[in-house]
Amino acid sequence: MAEPTTWTQTSAWAGITAVTHAGAGVVARPLDTLVLASVHARKGRGAALKAKVKARFKIDLPPGPKRAAREGVAFVGTGPGAWMAVGEGVEAGWLDALAADLEGLASVTDQTGSYAAMRLEGPAVLDALAKGVFLDLHETAFPVGSAAGVSIAHIGAVVWRRERLVFEVLTFRSYAASFWHWLDESAAEYGLTVAG
């Protein structure tokens, strides 16, 4: 019994994000190492879940479309009683531990493979996003920490604002090429650069 070598992961953006246009009005950074899990509260266990997340991660589960984060872990509100847990630079087994911690309080599902994730930033990021996100992204309407489920060029996406000009987007993995087509066309006039 020969133990085989570990299979290689393929980025959702592999072979897609090659074309760039001079300038850095928009910088696109594929996020290939995020660990994602949907967390849906069990019936009547919302308060207990909130307490558990607070105790475990020192994070207040946001009750609406917001992102709350601490030390590489974020919870993004995606619906009533529903969040996306996002681990950034977390160690192997983090998701299993999360599921075990929330046992009986929430249904936890691994979604790491489900999404293509990308950070979009740069001085023209709002202009580019305005071509796809039918949502007021003005700072008074969508301040840092806001999140939303949106449709970008008919592609479902979850978007949140990390900093004034830094956004992160999750879209189903199979749409990566079409999403990139939209971004490429939308950001080209401002200059589009892919960061490693």
**Where does this chain bind another protein (CB under 8 A)?**
1-12, 14-15, 21, 38, 40-44, 106-107, 109-115, 130-131, 133-136, 138, 141, 153-155, 172-179, 181-182, 185-186, 188-189
Q: Tell me the closest approach of the beta carbon of residue 58 to another protein, in angstroms.
A: 25
Nearer to another protein, 112 or 119 (CB): 112
Nearer to another protein, 160 or 179 (CB): 179
- For 168, residues 6+ apart whose C-beta sits below 8 A from its C-beta are 31, 117, 118, 119, 120, 159, 160, 162
Coil, helix or strand at residue 103: coil
Nearer to another protein, 1 or 64 (CB): 1
Nearer to another protein, 71 or 148 (CB): 148
Q: What is the distance between the alpha carbons of residues 196 and 193, in angstroms, rounded to a whole number?
A: 10
Q: Tell me the closest approach of the beta carbon of residue 55 to another protein, in angstroms.
A: 22
Q: Tell me the closest approach of the beta carbon of residue 162 to another protein, in angstroms.
A: 21
Contact in structure between 161 and 148 (CB atoms under 8 Å): no
Nearer to another protein, 54 or 107 (CB): 107
Q: Tell me the closest approach of the beta carbon of residue 19 to another protein, in angstroms.
A: 11
Q: Tell me the closest approach of the beta carbon of residue 39 to another protein, in angstroms.
A: 9
CA distances from 134 to 35, 114, 151, 173, 194 (A): 27, 23, 8, 21, 24
Contact in structure between 127 and 121 (CB atoms under 8 Å): no
* C-alpha angle 196-171-13 in degrees, rounded to nearest 5: 35
